[in-house]
Amino acid sequence: MKILITGANGMLAKAVRNELKDEELVLTDVAELDITNIDAVREFVNKEQPDYIINCAAYTAVDKAEEQVDLARKVNALGPKNLAIVANEEDATLIHISTDYVFGGEKPVEEDYTEMEEKNPDTVYGITKLEGEQAIIDSTFKYYIFRTAWLYGDGNNFVRTMLNLGKEKDELNVVADQHGSPTYAVDLASIIHQAIEKGIPYGIYHTTNLGYTTWYEFTKKIFEIAKIDCKVNPVTSEEFVRPAKRPKNSKLSKEKLLKAGIEVPAYEDALERYLKLELK
């Protein structure tokens, strides 16, 4: 099986490369394949003839996107559109990664979001990622859109930041009114692999680790496992204003994914495995 991975040096891509190491992989970074250039995408895919294209490329700077609207739209909307058009021409399956930000996050936090619920993004990142999803749906049939959230792995991420801050400081303020599922890139890569192997039905799936928490509770868990003595104070989103509004509710229901027979670990288990490597 031949698999093309775009954005191959990103955080998720590193985990995907490792998970699929026994397959024939074609790895491209932006210099080798800029997904916003349809001629380049067409020429490359036509030459390589992959069975799958896994799009790990994205514009992921959520706050900067509020200013760099055109660039965010090019990478997050035009890029996936180009890949979908060409995947359809070459009969390849497109696997694309999307985000909880496509929902506005205003739903009561006692409830979670199913795949087809109304979208109401109010950040440039969320709006452009939703445009990317729609472009794929409009351009091809053989696609998976895997929406994830709160991703961490081999790259700059929340867990690494908290480990560093926790070692430096005696106490930390962490937002306690945003709810979601931290997701280990290694586990998302395994979900992608299982989806390919099992040939689950095409479509949109929510793909985070199981279980819900808040950034505040998650930070306490990180410090507990890492045995870091740092007091964590709960604060509200209003006390922690950022250029792009954070969704209060990022809870993505995994019912559809589990029904498709995919195994998904709990976020606590994922965190233990990640910290074991990170603290070595």
Ligand X SMILES: NC(=O)c1ccc[n+]([C@@H]2O[C@H](COP(=O)([O-])OP(=O)(O)OC[C@H]3O[C@@H](n4cnc5c(N)ncnc54)[C@H](OP(=O)(O)O)[C@@H]3O)[C@@H](O)[C@H]2O)c1
Interface residue list for ligand X (CB under 6 A): 6-7, 9-12, 29-30, 34-36, 56-58, 60, 75, 79, 97, 99, 129, 148-151, 155
List 52, 59, 101, 125, catalytic entry? 125
Our CB check for ligand X shows the closer of 31 and 227 to be 31
Compute the least distance from the CB of residue 63 to ligand X, in Å.
13
Our CB check for ligand X shows the closer of 36 and 209 to be 36
Separation CA 250–CA 179 (nearest Å): 6
Our CB check for ligand X shows the closer of 135 and 229 to be 135
Separation CA 163–CA 165 (nearest Å): 6
Compute the least distance from the CB of residue 229 to ligand X, in Å.
27
Our CB check for ligand X shows the closer of 58 and 192 to be 58
Q: What are phi and psi of 213, to 5 degrees?
A: -150, -170
Indicate the residue whose CB is closest to ligand X.
10
Compute the least distance from the CB of residue 245 to ligand X, in Å.
15
Our CB check for ligand X shows the closer of 5 and 230 to be 5
Residue 168's contacts (CB-CB under 8 Å, 6 or more residues apart) are none
- Look up 143 and say whether it is catalytic: no
- HEC string of the chain? CEEEEECCCCHHHHHHHHHCCCCEEEECCCCCCCCCCHHHHHHHHHHHCCCEEEECCCCCCCCHHHCCHHHHHHHHHHHHHHHHHHHHHHCCEEEEEEEHHHCCCCCCCCCCECCCCCCCCCCHHHHHHHHHHHHHHHHCCCEEEEEECCEECCCCCHHHHHHHHHHHCCEEEEECCCEECCEEHHHHHHHHHHHHHHCCCCEEEECCCECCEEHHHHHHHHHHHHCCCCEEEEECHHHCCCCCCCCCECCECCHHHHHCCCCCCEHHHHHHHHHHHHCC
Our CB check for ligand X shows the closer of 34 and 131 to be 34
Compute the least distance from the CB of residue 6 to ligand X, in Å.
5
Region of 227 (left: φ > 0; alpha: ψ -120 to 50; beta: rest) is: left
Compute the least distance from the CB of residue 65 to ligand X, in Å.
10
Compute the least distance from the CB of residue 153 to ligand X, in Å.
7
Residues designated catalytic: 125
